[in-house]
Structure 1
Amino acid sequence: MTVSFEHQVAIVTGAGNGLGRSHALALAARGARVVVNDFGGQRDGTGGSSQAAQDVVAEIEAAGGTAIAHGANVADYAQVSDMVSHAMQQWGRVDILINNAGILRDKSFSKMDIADFAAVMDVHVMGTVNCTKAVWDIMREQNYGRILVTTSSSGLYGNFGQSNYGAAKMAVIGLMNTLVLEGAKHNIRVNALAPTAGTRMTADLLPADIFAMLTTESVTAGALTLCSAEAPNRMILCAGVGGYATARIVETEGIFLPETEQNPETVAAHFNDIQDPHGQHELTNGGKQGEKFLAKAMAYVQSQQRQ
């Protein structure tokens, strides 16, 4: 099956450099009309210039594709709304949104200024919220949408010096989980990409030979799969250096303790049973956890009544 984006419109945020640029070029090469969004700031989010986005548009057009540039700051909903309005005026629909824009302000938590924490949260979390909110009703009305959020291994597993970035990258997973439920009946599928790539975000963090292996193209191959008509739903796809895997949030089957044993000593004594991975599985919504525990409680009550 050939993945094509003919007649579709895609918005890619942070598309002036790195992964966003790679995503935008690949979408355009496969037929999409692309809004190349980039605020043009530095890696820490300061500054701003439209040149990077315009350069990507020129590259797309030189290859025979169609694109427009927009310099919206994703953390500003008014600017994001203007960007989406431009896409609708130009092409009348939005089929794909790739939330890629981000900044880094790394420091250990003890040394991190609260403003640096807030700035990273604002771009990654509220930037994703703003862009998704701006296209949500459009996708609902056209009964089609593919949305990609960008998470990170730093959020899924932690990384020293990135408490702000890690918190933001895990927050977008929580957003995805609920949007999956709310968008399903409108054929809106929402997935997450956890990339490992050599970009300006990681350029000074890795040795040159390792950096060269971390191509953006290998990550983009995964990103486009998650944006296609046959995309899965609620997948966290990890991609980098040609490797692909999925990350999953699972819950163990756990145990039930009767009221007389519900104390910290007994809970601690049963940690091995509580953590036993046998039977662990993904939950489709938050209510399933409560249902499981209630079922265990009811089974216990019934067993006592039979005695």
Structure 2
Amino acid sequence: MKFTLDVENNPTGWPDHTQLPESDGTFVKNFQEHPQSILLTDSITPVLQTIHADGNYCIGQDSGIYWRLTDPLERGAEAPDWFYVPNVPPTLDGQSRRSYVMWQEFVAPLILLEFVSGNGAEERNRTPLLRTDKQETKPGKFWVYENAIRPAFYGIYEVRKASVEVYSLIQNRYELVAANDRGHYPIPQLGVELGIWQGSYQNMELPWLRWWDSQGNLLLSGAQRAEEERQRADREQEIAQQQLQRADREQQRADRAEDELEQLRAQLRSAGIEPQL
């Protein structure tokens, strides 16, 4: 695809997110990927809303990140399965983002995640970008993330192995992060941990990639939060009903005691004694 510079509407001459392809035409690899992305986004949204009171953050799910201008344009992009960028608006000029363009905004994702469908070689490919007069090598995904896009954290999740590797960018190189005592990987900037949760989500029993808070409490999905709230409301209603029944029994006991007392007064009066009760 050839790109024609539109200097009048874009003085820099570099295309923006509306001018770049939003898909390379490939299929999502399996049925689990979209639910996995939704689960990650859904469960961390309350945390992000607390951190970003102004709403300035964006999440990409199988969305393109353009890091260089190439021909064809798609060669200059990677499409991580999930990523989060802090302190950028979720929309641009009133439009939803079609892609994330590094030369347009300069802010790197804080965390970027890949979901392995094959053997993981693509996600761990460190082949560097090399140019000659006639051609250039296609850089590996790991190399692009480490040297060009540069998220602070890069995670490689393998559902088949029920595992996740997390790398942290330290002095311009990715270093493998060690799991904590819970088997989770802390993301200090968010106050959360990343790890594997075995359970059922959207009718699939799998080892899902999930978030926990810094105390080790699982961050719930919207459906889980709603169910927890429903159970809490049911418990409160049950407690209120028990208290009402207890109060009713107390009233009945008080009424019986008053009846018995009145009978005793009547017996005393019939015997010519004025009760003092």
TM over 0.5: no
Greater radius of gyration (CA): 2
- TM-score w.r.t. structure 2 length? 0.31
Q: Give the number of the structure whose residues are more often strand, by fraction.
A: 2
Which of 1 and 2 has higher RCO (CA within 8 Å, sep 6+)?
1
Q: Give the number of the structure whose residues are more often helix, by fraction.
A: 1
